[in-house]
Each structure stands twice: as C-alpha cells, then as structure tokens.
Amino acid sequence: MTTAHTPAAQSAPRGVRRLFRASEVQEVLALVIMLALIVVVMASNSNLFLSQRNIINLLMDSTTVGLIAVFTTMLMISGGLDLSVAATAALCGVIIGASQETMGLWQGVLLALGAGAFVGLINGFLVTYVGINPLITTLGMLSITRGLAFVFADGLTIPVFDLSGEHAEAYTAFTQLAEGRLFDIPYPILIMAGFFILGIVLLRYTTYGRAMYTIGDNQDASFLAGLPVRRYRMIAYMLSGLSSAVAAVFLTSRLYAADPRAAPNIELTVITAVVLGGTSLAGGQGNLFGTLLGVLILSSLLNGLKLQSVSTELQNIAQGLVLLLAVGIDQVRQGKIDLGLWRLFRRQAGASTQ
C-alpha cells in the first residue's frame, strides 16, 4: 500500500521533474531564497565573507555535518532517528589514534570504519528487533560511545601524525585526505559532494531508496505489502554509523589528532540541517537537495557570525533558534499546529473591510 507521500505512487515524469515533486520544488526554492538572504546580509557586514579563501573554509567546515547528514536524511525518511552520530565520530577518531602504533595507521582507519558500522548495527537492532524507542536508544548510545572514546584515549588528545618515523609515507598520505586537492577543490568537499550524489541515486532510483519513503509513511502497511521493513531500517542505521566513521576519518586527518571531545553537538546541527531541508520528523518525506541547502544555510550563518566575532554562546543561540524554526515548519507541514487563530484573524479582518 502506497500513499501520496511516496514517490512510487506518482507517475515517473521525465528529466528534472523526476527528481522533485511540486511541494519539494517549492521547499527547495524557499531554501535557496533563505540562503541567498543570509549570503547578502553576511557579505554586507564583512568583506571577507565572499572571498575565495573563506568560501573554501566555509565548505570545509560543513563537510563533517554534510557527510553525516546524507544518511541521516535517509534514516529519518524511514521514520528513524540517530542522536549518537557525533559521539560515534569521536569514538572512531580515537580508535584511529589508539591503534596506529600497534596495528598501523590504515588498519586503524579500517577498524574505525567497522566500529562505526557496528554502532549503527546495534542501534538498528535495538530499535527494529527489540523495539526500544529510537530517541532513547541513540541517546543511550551517545553516552556509551562518548564514554568509550574518553576511556580509550585516557581523556587526552592523541596525536595522529609522526612524519619523521618509519611510517612517514602512510602518515603523509593520510594528511592528504584533508589537505589534498583536485582542480583546486579540497578532497573533503569532493567526497561530501559524492556522498550527496550517491544518496540521491539511492533514494530516487533504487528499490531500497523508494522503500524508505514507504516505510516512513506507513510502516505497518509496508510490512503487509511484503517489504523487509526491519532489514531495510537496520541497513539505514548501519549506514548512519558508517557515515559518522567516514566523517571521523576526515576530521582526524584535518585536526592532526584524535580527540574524545571532537564534534561536540554535531548531532543537533545535523538534525537541524536535515529538518530545515524539508525532511519530516514523522518520516515519509524529505529530499537530499533540501538537506544540502540546509547544511549550506547553517554553515553560512555560523561562518558569517564568526567573521563578525560573535561569541560561541550567541552562535549556539542562533543555531537553536534555527532548529526551533525548522521543527515548527515541519509541524505546520504535517498539520499538527493549529492555525485557527490566524484564520480567525483573517476572517475578522475581511469582515471589517466590508
């Protein structure tokens, strides 16, 4: 059983129209306008905002959130939620740092990627098979993974680079993950773009991606229709954990160290970007074009505030307000906020003019 929210329920239009529904086009255009307004305001307050160097820094700062947001979008479309992504990224970074001497740097990277996927697998199992609420499950996993990161690192930052040792070549190659460029574009930005392209292809042109919408829209009906709901949601959680590990690899390469305190509150930034981009907290609705714009809006806002020397506390307040705005828009979209007072005001205003 497929509802109107599901892409499979619609005829397959050609060209660009196949990528968007009418409502999604309107949401994307609204986000483009919002991004343009932020850029204009920030550029008018700082001559450095539109400089090439700052734009590269802005995009680099958005890569950690962007890499995680791709598969968080897919997970939330299916009706899931993962608050442990930031702590998982910190744990995976510490695994790289803690294992580099005994296993080797690249072996540590592989171990970190496996650990991220394993954390996602545990989240998926607890949510889909045990039946624990996703919020409680991933909030508990947040505490566990962050605690493990501090235990493995002894509460200290672990230097990851030793370019003078016998494994200098491996360390040099690892630094290029963050510092290398192709056509003068840093690798992390290209990888983030690749993640979004991969996610768009998965969501729009594969059975698994289309099933995410169906499952998020009506999980029971999807099960009765024969979809492997539990397995698909398990995969979504595993991909969420794996994307956190990938983000951790690039973040560790960029910081030259593994820090158990890394990526603080990134999970809230990710959710803000995803919801702002049009993904419903109730599931069944969302697109990655909107998520990408949500990431760029948040990055542009925070970058512009930094250039104006706005304190970290005020930046957090601004980000919190954007999150409340995004959730409010989502609630209005779902019809869960009663706008009766607004309609009454309009009727009375119309009556007074007659």
**Residue 258 three-state SS:** strand
* Dihedral (Cα; 36, 41, 45, 47), 10-degree rounding: 10
For residue 257, the cross-strand partners are 159
- Read off the pLDDT of residues 133-145 as tens digits, 9 standing for 90 and up: 999 999 999 999 9
**Residue 50 three-state SS:** coil
Predicted TM-score (pTM) of the model is 0.84
The pLDDT of residue 335 is 65
- Can you list the positions of beta strands (E) in the chain? 158-159, 181-182, 185-186, 257-258
The pLDDT of residue 146 is 94
C-alpha to C-alpha distance for 76 and 146, rounded to whole angstroms: 22
Q: What is the mean pLDDT of residues 59-81?
A: 93
Q: DSSP string spanning 156-217? A: SPEE---TTSTTHHHHHHHHHHHH-EETTEEHHHHHHHHHHHHHHHHHHHSHHHHHHHHHHH
200-229 CB burial, b ≥16 within 10 A, e <16? bebbeeeeebbbbbbbbbbbeebeeeebeb
- Asked whether 96 and 109 are in contact (CB, 8 A), the reply is yes
* Dihedral (Cα; 227, 228, 230, 231), 10-degree rounding: -140
The pLDDT of residue 193 is 94
* Dihedral (Cα; 87, 91, 92, 96), 10-degree rounding: 150
C-alpha to C-alpha distance for 206 and 221, rounded to whole angstroms: 20
Provide the percentage of residues in the chain whose pLDDT is more than 70.
Answer: 85
Question: 122 or 163: whose pLDDT is higher?
Answer: 122
The long-range contacts involving 181-187, CB below 8 angstroms and separated by at least 24 positions, are: 186/56, 186/59, 186/60, 187/250
Taking all residues of the chain, what is their mean pLDDT, rounded to a whole number? Answer: 84
The pLDDT of residue 246 is 95
The pLDDT of residue 1 is 43
- Asked whether 205 and 214 are in contact (CB, 8 A), the reply is no
Q: Is the confidence at residue 204, as pLDDT, over 70?
A: yes
- The one-letter amino acid code at 30 reads A
Q: Which of 240, 316, 307, 258 is nearest to 96 (CA)?
A: 258
Backbone angles phi, psi at 10, to 5 degrees: -105, 155
Q: What is the mean pLDDT of residues 259-263?
A: 89
The pLDDT of residue 21 is 58
The pLDDT of residue 93 is 94
What would the two tokens of residue 246 be?
A: 């990938």
Backbone angles phi, psi at 244, to 5 degrees: -65, -40
